[in-house]
């Protein structure tokens, strides 16, 4: 429960409890929004550090196919650039929210955070789908390269598609659950702050 919700609860329980004016409520919403964006920024940084750490910890095999090696390098470059971009955007929005005293600017920043967080989640889910598809294609090419048997390739294609769909579906569901649990909760609070600010602006 955030600070504003605590005040609302105490208002209902005790009519003599001090009331807050619009400026004080906006200050609470400002503080809460800053905290939420800060947490989004921290989580993005931790996810990036985890990805970098895993790339050094997990053993890597030499890629025998040049095309897949180029795809892997391209994917890594694009993914890291994208993640650094999102971290930079969230950092800029965090500074904007932290330093603004203007309600309109605060509301615009909240909308921008919500929009970019949605893009960040969709980008990560796209990355998961890409890795699953490339892994399946790699197995098919490797099998054909070793056996030159179209029947075996067809078998790998069917079996690989079933396994990729099954594990991919489960993994994506888990990823969506993670993003819903972590980012969904934060964005829900941020959306609540936006609605409160909208209501206050309409009343003023």
pLDDT digits (tens, 9 = 90+) for 76-85: 899 999 999 9
Q: How many structural domains does the chain have? A: 1
56 occurs within a structural domain: no
4 occurs within a structural domain: no
21 occurs within a structural domain: no
13 occurs within a structural domain: no
Tell me which of 12 and 190 has the higher pLDDT. Answer: 190
58 occurs within a structural domain: no
Residue 139, both tokens = 């197995």
Residue 89: CB atoms within 10 Å:
19
Mean pLDDT check: name the lowest of 92-96, 157-161, 191-195.
157-161
**Mean pLDDT, all residues of the chain:** 80
* pLDDT for the residue numbered 60: 62
Query: For every residue of 95-125, which 3-state class applies, written as one string?
Result: HHHHHCCCHHHHHHHHHHHHHHHHHHHHHHH
CA dist 141 to 63, 134, 169, Å?
Answer: 12, 10, 23
Expressed as residue numbers, the domain containing 157 is 26-51+63-203
- Per-residue confidence band for 57, with pLDDT thresholds at 50, 70 and 90: confident
165 occurs within a structural domain: yes
Mean pLDDT check: name the lowest of 123-127, 153-157, 163-167.
153-157
* pLDDT for the residue numbered 11: 43
75 occurs within a structural domain: yes
- Per-residue confidence band for 67, with pLDDT thresholds at 50, 70 and 90: confident
8 occurs within a structural domain: no
Helix axes 22-57, 66-99, angle to 10 degrees: 160
pLDDT digits (tens, 9 = 90+) for 5-22: 554 554 444 454 345 667
| pLDDT at 58 exceeding the cut of 70 | no
- Per-residue confidence band for 142, with pLDDT thresholds at 50, 70 and 90: confident
């Amino acid at each position: 429960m955030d600070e504003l919700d605590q005040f609302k609860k105490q208002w209902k329980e005790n009519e003599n409890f001090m009331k807050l004016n619009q400026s004080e409520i906006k200050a609470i919403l400002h503080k809460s929004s800053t905290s939420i964006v800060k947490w989004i920024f921290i989580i993005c940084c931790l996810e990036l550090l985890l990805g970098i750490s895993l790339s050094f910890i997990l053993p890597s095999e030499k890629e025998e196919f040049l095309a897949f090696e180029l795809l892997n390098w391209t994917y890594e470059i694009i993914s890291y650039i994208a993640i650094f971009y999102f971290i930079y955007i969230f950092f800029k929005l965090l500074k904007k929210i932290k330093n603004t005293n203007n309600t309109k600017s605060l509301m615009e920043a909240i909308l921008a955070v919500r929009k970019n967080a949605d893009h960040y989640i969709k980008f990560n889910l796209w990355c998961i789908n890409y890795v699953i598809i490339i892994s399946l294609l790699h197995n098919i090419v490797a099998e054909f390269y070793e056996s030159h048997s179209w029947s075996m390739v067809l078998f790998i294609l069917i079996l690989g598609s079933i396994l990729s769909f099954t594990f991919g579906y489960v993994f994506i569901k888990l990823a969506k659950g993670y993003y819903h649990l972590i980012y969904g909760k934060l964005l829900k609070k941020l959306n609540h702050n936006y609605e409160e600010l909208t209501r206050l602006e309409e009343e003023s």
